[in-house]
Structure 1
């Protein structure tokens, strides 16, 4: 199925044993593509040190002067996409994940990368519009179905050492990131304490098996970001049958409503609290059609189809 396609994946984020939360969806996609018969090599540019971008740029530029080894380069994030275009031998597909097109800090470089790329993948229609590429493909990451699946809530709480009788609301992101607006989540849960014994659980940069267990243990997940592309944690929560209460951001409304897995709220703490209260009061009312939750294998098949399209276009 992969037609012996050879791909160099260039990325400035990739999970490791020390940092398992560094965009594991990229590793999922690589693994799924390899299962489909694609040969993949990884060029990891550690973004925590700026000198690594220079080293990565030199490695990519040097590909113009070495024997042909790949059919294309697949770059993740706008910064990496610009570097990938320093070489002239291979077509470049850039996958944008959200802030690199929608954020204030990185969107200028992201739009430059989108103009330069031979192919563009985005997570949402909003990102497609921001990229200014009418030919961009909307291929959001999917949940890893082998990890994120329904599991006994009492058992998960027991294994994690969590109280059985308390209402638990999950916030699976770094609270220090301003875009996630953790304070709004805190305010919403504080409002709920007038009626419930409730706790806001914050967890990030943990192995996904641990995150999946927390998703099974909790009563609801809250998302309060100022902007998002297609937040994978929402799909992962829905795959675990954890109801999601979110502000209307990215493609969350479409994901949640298609799976029947929660509520969309306004950006007021009181409305978020009211929607979470509804979840607490009717726990069996969700997931009538959870088969609509997109998984990582679906995404990989769409990406492989796009690879073939770009390679054929380059040969013409």
Structure 2
């Protein structure tokens, strides 16, 4: 699939602070792309440049293969982390106003808004003032306004923040549906579980640099350490002896006569070699490879860059 958005060697300085240092990312079309990094890493600076709020000092951005320009603004929807609505305005009135700012006709905007308000269970609040809404309801309104004009690119900054699990799942399902219907989503988040659930590609920015970039599944494969969890019945000493020099026992727990051991394979041994060695000694109930989570990978890469200190 071709890339919808490509940032090439983007550099941005604010006085003496280097916010982005030759940052390059490629966002495939009709995908969910995770933009990750600790606070102050440079994510917001890159998002502001993509939204043309600020410009880069050097480097370039292309949108559908063409240099990013003002005409692309209407094809981008942006949900900032700092939510902001006019508190004294009525909910429906404000949603209509914001939709028209995106270039939508009033009748079309109102029809689509009514549909979304029903779907998100906030239709009774159409004539209430914004200040009467809970934080979660206000965020629903902002999400709706962000996606209403059906932009090709959606940039969502911490879209799950402040939502209870039910509403967070509602937003997640809508993000997946929007992707399936042709949208490309850049998801800026600290929520690593949501990254694993819905992101296909990620870029990790730390201290103004891209330190990890690629497909989520491939990154997890690259960070594997040949660690397996073996569940068995039988003599633990016989199990350990059977592994001999082929594997290192990292952890072992027993409950109701069933042992769960975590082992690291050594000397390029394969899982089949481990099974052959231990099969004569114990009854194997399960074998599972331990694949690192995105949270573990995130922490490892950030600590590498900061010398072990992570705020």
Verify same fold: TM over 0.5.
no
- In terms of Rg, which structure is larger? 2
Q: Which has the higher contact order (CA 8 A, sep 6+)?
A: 2
**Which has more helix, going by share of residues?**
1
